[in-house]
Amino acid sequence: MKATISFHFQHPSFRLRHRQLLRQWLLRCTHAEGQGIASLRYLFCTDEHILEANNQFLQHDYYTDILTFGDHSAAGISGDILISIDRVRDNAKTHGTKPIDELHRVMSHGALHLLGHSDHTPEQQQAMRAKEDAWLAQRPAFNA
């Protein structure tokens, strides 16, 4: 079965570069975790879109940078990962990081959730951050 990683865009001012390199990176990292990818669908959206989804599906009335919805019936990890580009940009400013690094961190975060990693407790958050850092270290060199 061929892995499918697709990128969809709802945010009006966001463009994703190096899509094939990102696919290869995600495949390499998930395989290193002992899993394959059946289908990952990333949706890059606005704050308002993610707030609406958070309300509709989780009954949470607040903004978030990411929502992950897994499809556990597939062979390999599969799911939809919604990413608020507005939150990613704001978080990058808050944390003093490059927006592209924050974007890749959040992309890996969603995949890690689909792999079964949780971040509910401080210990889990620390472990998740360590996994994200390990994945970020595996990224290919992106030319501007």
Helix ranges restricted to H, the chain: 19-32, 47-58, 85-95, 99-114, 122-137
Quick one: how far is CA 15 from the chain centroid?
A: 15
Question: DSSP letters of 90-131?
Answer: HHHHHHT--HHHHHHHHHHHHHHHHTT---SSHHHHHHHHHH
pTM: 0.94
Domain-located, residue 144? no
Take residue 56 and report the two structure tokens written for it: 């509709």
Going by C-alpha positions, the residue among 107, 94, 88 that lies closest to residue 27 is 107
Parent domain of 24: 4-137
**pLDDT confidence tier of residue 143, bands split at 50, 70 and 90:** low
Arithmetic mean of pLDDT over the chain = 93
Average pLDDT of the residues in 52-70: 94
> What pLDDT was estimated at residue 76?
86
Domain-located, residue 117? yes
From CA 23, how far away is CA 133, in angstroms rounded? 18
Domain-located, residue 105? yes
> What pLDDT was estimated at residue 2?
80
- pLDDT at residue 135 greater than cutoff 80: yes
Domain-located, residue 72? yes
**pLDDT confidence tier of residue 1, bands split at 50, 70 and 90:** low
Average pLDDT of the residues in 10-37: 94
Average pLDDT of the residues in 54-63: 93
Stretch (H or E) spanning 5: strand 4-9
Q: Residue 63 in contact with residue 80, Cβ under 8 Å? A: no
CATH of the domain at 13: 3.40.390.30
Q: How many domains does the chain have?
A: 1
